Amino acid sequence: ERARGTARPEETAEEEILRQDNFRRAQDHFSRGLEIDADEADCNLGKGICLHSRGQDREALSFLARCVSLAEARGKPNPRGHYYFALALELQRGFQEKALEHYRKAVEQDALQAFTPLYSHLVKVLLVYVPFEDPQFRWFLDNMLSYGGDDRDYWESVEALAAKLAADSLEARRESGV
């Protein structure tokens, strides 16, 4: 998580190499944990996040899928697992519907509604994944507006989405934006 948090758009090549090295080292630690217990959900999640962050989404999918299936089998909510699984699925051709299902599960399982990366990402992709007319759009929008965090960037992106909707020619979209 620390390595993911250090990424910046204006990152130098040297900083990118250091960040990728952090992911590789973390991945090695998670791999050792999985050698001890292959059913450790957090190690599967960690290795999956590292692989995804290193651009190896196909490899990440198996670890992230295992993480969410272990959590579900144990009856434990895991919004982070569903979120990262959805991110990795999103980049695979033909899996966008499946990614949307896991974004929905992540929102449903985020009891505090404060997992900022999830809600920030949804603001960016909601109109891409869900047509405005689809009832799911309203469900996601309502949950995004119920976000319990205080991240300023998140709320600014929500404001930008609202402005985009408010500027639309369709009355229903304008009303939602307002």
- Angle, vertex CA 150, rays to CA 148 and CA 154, nearest 5: 95
H or E element at residue 23: helix 13-36
What's residue 3's pLDDT? Answer: 56
How confident is the model at residue 8, as a pLDDT?
Answer: 60
| Rounded distance between C-alpha atoms, residue 126 and residue 32, angstroms | 37
The sign one gets for the Cα dihedral 119, 122, 123, 126 is negative
Residue 135's CB: how many other CB atoms inside 10 A? 8
What does the pLDDT profile of the chain (178 residues) look like in tens digits?
Answer: 565 555 566 778 887 788 888 889 889 999 999 999 999 999 999 999 999 988 899 999 999 999 999 999 999 999 999 999 999 999 888 898 999 999 999 999 999 999 999 999 999 999 888 998 899 999 999 999 999 988 999 999 999 999 998 888 888 888 887 7
Entry pTM: 0.88
